[in-house]
Amino acid sequence: MIEENAKCACQGATLTRFIQPILLFCLAETPDHGYNLLQKIAKTELWKDTPPDAAGVYRVLRDMEKRGLVSSHIDPDSKAAREKRVFRITEDGLACMRHWVDTLEVYRRGIDQVIDCLREALDGQPVAQASESPNQASCCCGKPAAGN
């Protein structure tokens, strides 16, 4: 079960929109099954070894398939009781990935600006407030921090 603080925006809970570009780069490397994709997402810095909601990822994959960004087929070598679906990036998916690069570059500049503003606002504040990290006993919303 995901800890309560994972739902707090100040702890990164709103980063689920990054599933699509992560799926695209995973599939650009090699076609893969949904379970393996979940494991790869969990290994990214954004998810900190916590797999995302599987149902949500499969919904995103189905949506991406409807939009022509990925294609899929049943793995003929699947030995599981449920047949495994293999996803593959399409040419449209590669084009979408290029758009994501541009979009994320804009986001990064915006995030850098917000970080600079926050740091500037913290300048001159008491040291105890300025040095607190998101991994302390509780977040600013009073929810327990990760690992506590």
Cα dist. 87→5, 28, 60, 73, 120 in Å? 32, 10, 12, 7, 45
Would you give the end-to-end CA distance of the chain in angstroms?
14
Angle between helical axes of 19-29 and 34-42 (0-180°, round to 10): 110
84: pLDDT strictly greater than 60: yes
List, for residues 44-80, the tens digit of each pLDDT value.
Answer: 888 887 878 899 999 999 999 999 999 999 887 766 6
Global confidence as pTM = 0.72
List, for residues 7-22, the tens digit of each pLDDT value.
Answer: 555 665 555 678 999 9
Residue 124: the pLDDT is 78
| pLDDT tier, 101 (very low <50, low <70, confident <90, very high otherwise) | very high
The mean pLDDT value of the chain amounts to 81
8 A C-beta contact, residue 93 and residue 69: yes
- Token pair, residue 47, equals 């998810």
Residue 16: the pLDDT is 62
